[in-house]
Amino acid sequence: MSQQDDAAASARELRTLINYHAHRYYVLDSPEISDAEYDGLIRQLEQIEAEHPELVTPDSPTQRVGAAPVEAFGVVEHRLPLLSLANVFSGEELLAWHKRVLNLAEGQDLDFVCEIKMDGLAIALTYDEGRLVTGATRGDGYRGEDVTQNLRTVKSIPLSVPKDAPPRFEVRGEVFLPRAGFKRLNEDRAREGLPLFANPRNAGAGSVRQLDPRITAQRPLDIYVYALGYAEGKAVPDTHWERMEYLKSLGFKVNPGNRLCRSIAEVEAYRQEWEEKRAGLPYDADGIVAKVNSIEMQDRLGFVAHEPRWAVAYKFRAVQATTVLKDIGINVGRTGSLNPYAILEPVFVGGVTVKQAALHNEDDIRRKDIRVGDTVIVQRAGEVIPEVVGPVASKRTGGERVFSMPSRCPTCGAEVIKTEAMHRCTNAACPAQALEKLKHFVSRGAMDIDGVGEKLCAALFEKGLVHDAGDLYYLTREQLLERLDRVADKSVANILASIEDSKQRPLSRVIFALGILHVGGETADLLASRFSSLDGLAGASEEELLSIPSVGPRIAESVMAFFRQEGNRNIIRKLREAGVRLTDAAPAQRGAAPLAGQEFVLTGRLESLTRQEAEDRIRRLGGTAGSSVTRKTARVVAGADPGSKLDKARKLGVPVISEEEFLRLISSGTEA
Ligand code: IVH
């Protein structure tokens, strides 16, 4: 055998081996060799092909890297049109579809194949004599674009099929960009300052319709095939289900979520199941597709207009919709942050009408290139706040306006400064901030003033009864009854009682309630246990503050700035004069503080006291309550159904005690 024959044989052998492992990896998701071993095989083949260029075949696994760019795509005439699907949106509509089909089927029993409806790009792949020859987009259904060179770079699309495959056939499927790939792609683009893709579908379609296949090659596109278009020269199975099994055997990737259903009730159950599991899918899906299983019956049922009668898309509730961004409003937060939000032409999405949506900050608006007047994509997934995903740039008319943050606070007119990504109002007495601060002061975890919620705060503020947290403690029964509409005598009494009650909150809660920028619950605990009074904290030097573990310059600076403000000192004076406790509990206990220096972390449900009560008890005994387990944690208290914190504690060797042991500890502590 000549050296040439030798090389040809090795190349053939390597290709078979590589194709086998690529199929295991990209199609079956079940590799048998490591990535390094696989790369080694590719390198060997590349070397042979470099030395013997005449041996390179178009279906060689080395030929996926992306061919040279083109000026425009060629046109592909589809031999059989690529149709779309009729949609149904409810169980009743599904039943109506089923009834029509049964009528036409004249009482024949029908099975259905249910598939997940991927939200990607429909394509058709033609194989001739075992090789992929054409890959085309759907286009208008009759003529699509020739994207063969691009689709060749999709690793889960076979470039060749086994010898016993039909001599000529067409396979259809959905090409998509998995969510993880989409996220990575957008992160990269953000870093490079490029406009972001609005969703995986746009990103996937954009990747397939790239004039430069080398760019497509870098995008982790994937495919699931969902139909055999036609097959010549060989008999193929006569049910859709078996055809899918057959395509699998030829090396195509078929969605493992597909299911053969024996009744329409099973179709309904399938939709329900996947609508629930939808968020956990690695790709976007917008519904399910139900198809009559028998191909003979499919042919008998035929088409109406562009839609087959034998299949139907049963859509999930939309989580995205497009609408017009009428304007961008600004909310001023408790810390003076200027938070932009979208004012939208009302749109029905995810089961509710949405009029406003979150826009995160100016940088984000810029990066996504969202302009006032744009048609935008709005998303509402689950119970989260609706957000604007991005603009539909193709709908621009030229009248859109680029947004920039105001240089003055929209509420008080004070100067706005930008720190990191956030714009802030610099006026500590800004009324918008004051109301948010008041809401925070009364909230759970802060002073926890029962009966004084956000609405009452707004009313008190609006009527001029309260300007800041200090004023709460001077409210009278008469004021509340006279000035607030429709409040009963009894609730006024309750409100006043809870305000009175709150005067005894531990120091750490008072510090947290004041709403000092960057001082959350845990930092407030640390500050309270280091300085046993608010005056102590107010007088602390930067050095003293920085000596507390986990207090850095950002927090220290913020604490000092807070106490420098005249307005804040005024609030504290009002609190003091009203009798709000601004020192730590019973100083006599301090010396004995039995839990001093110990950090506790609670996990699971406690039976005899609330989490808040437990944390207060810990603090009163000098300890601190943390939210995550570290080596420094003294003890983890595990209640019922403990979470991952318990595992973490075990892993780090942190002592774990039961609720009972904890109760014993704190009661002996109190006695001490
Ligand atoms: S079958 C004649 N099956 O949905 C039936 N389509 O609205 C042709 N799609 O253009 C389509 N997943 O891009 C079918 N499992 C699936 C699908 C699916 C996604 C897309 C496809 C098609 C569109 C129809």
The residues spanned by each domain of the chain are 3-63, 76-315, 319-402, 428-585, 593-668
Query: Are the beta carbons of 388 and 377 closer than 8 angstroms?
Result: yes
CA distances from 528 to 41, 512, 558 (A): 64, 10, 16
Measured in Å, residue 136 CA sits from the centre of ligand 1 at: 15
Tokens of 518: 């960057």
pLDDT tens digits for 553-576? 989 999 998 998 888 899 999 999
Average pLDDT, the chain: 90
Q: How many CB atoms lie within 10 A of CB 242?
A: 15
CA of 117, closest atom in ligand 1 = 12
Average pLDDT value for residue range 2-15: 89
**318 CB less than 6 Å from ligand 1?**
no
Nearest to 452 by CA among 500, 397, 384, 521: 500
Is ligand 1 within 6 A of the CB of residue 198? no
Instruction: Using pLDDT thresholds of 50, 70 and 90, give the confidence band for residue 66.
Output: confident
User: Residue 260: which residues within 8 A CB-CB, separation 6 or more?
Assistant: 111, 112, 113, 114, 241, 293
The CA 310 to ligand 1 mean position distance, Å, reads 13
pLDDT of residue 590: 45
| Highest mean pLDDT (candidates 23-37, 209-223, 420-434, 597-611) | 209-223
Most confident of 215-224, 429-438, 484-493: 215-224
Q: What is the CATH number of domain 76-315?
A: 3.30.470.30
Mutate which of 85, 87, 270, 316 for ligand 1 pocket (most atoms within 8 A of beta carbon): 85
Q: Is the CB of 84 under 6 A from ligand 1?
A: yes
Tell which CATH architecture fits domain 3-63: Orthogonal Bundle (1.10)
What's the average model confidence in pLDDT over 495-512? Answer: 94
Whole-angstrom distance, CA of residue 293 vs CA of residue 358: 44
3-state secondary structure 563-583: HHCHHHHHHHHHHHHHCCCCE
- Round to whole Å and give the CA distance between 450 and 502: 9
Atom of ligand 1 nearest to the CA of 255: 15
pLDDT at residue 136 in the model: 97
Number of other residues whose CB lies within 10 A of the CB of residue 462 = 11
pLDDT at residue number 383: 56
CATH number of 428-585: 1.10.150.20
Q: How confident is the model at residue 669 (pLDDT cuts 50, 70, 90)?
A: low
pLDDT average, residue stretch 354-376: 91
Rounded to an integer, the average pLDDT of 460-464 is 90
CB of 289 sitting under 6 A from ligand 1: yes
Ligand 1 pocket, 117 CB below 6 A?
yes
Bridge partners for 378 per DSSP: 321, 388
Q: What are phi and psi of 217, to 5 degrees?
A: -60, -25
Q: Say whether pLDDT at 142 is over 80.
A: yes
Return the residue matching tokens 């005249």: 566
116 CA: nearest ligand 1 atom: 15
In ligand 1, the atom with minimum distance to the C-alpha of 83 is 2
25-39 b/e (C-beta count within 10 Å ≥ 16 → b): bbbeeeeeeeeeebe
Q: Which residues are catalytic?
A: 117
Q: What region does 413 belong to: left with phi over 0, alpha with psi -120 to 50, or beta?
A: left
- Ligand 1 contact, 227 CB (< 6 A): yes
Question: What is the mean predicted confidence (pLDDT) over 460-487?
Answer: 89
**Residue 157 above 60 pLDDT?**
yes
Predicted pLDDT at 1: 60
The mean per-residue pLDDT over the stretch 281-285 comes to 93
pLDDT per residue as tens digits for the range 108-128: 889 999 999 999 999 999 999
Least confident of 70-84, 176-190, 418-432, 541-555: 418-432
Give the closest residue to 198 by CA, choosing from 389, 6, 393: 389
Which pair of structure tokens corresponds to residue 8?
Answer: 């040809």
pTM: 0.60
Ligand 1 centroid to residue 269 C-alpha, Å: 20
Architecture of domain 319-402: Beta Barrel (2.40)
Fill in the amino acid letter for 555.
Answer: I
Q: How confident is the model at residue 258 (pLDDT cuts 50, 70, 90)?
A: very high
Beta carbons within 8 Å of 257's beta carbon, 6+ residues apart: 115, 116, 274
Q: Which residues contact 271 (CB under 8 A, 6 or more apart)?
A: 94, 114, 287, 288, 314, 316
CA of 203 to the centre of ligand 1 (A): 18
Whole-angstrom distance, CA of residue 539 vs CA of residue 548: 15
What CATH code would you report for 593-668? Answer: 3.40.50.10190
State whether the beta carbon of 114 lies less than 6 angstroms from ligand 1.
no
Q: Whose CA is nearest to atom 9 of ligand 1?
A: 117
Measured by CA distance, the residue closest to atom 17 of ligand 1 is 117
- Give the closest residue to 228 by CA, choosing from 174, 169, 164, 175: 169
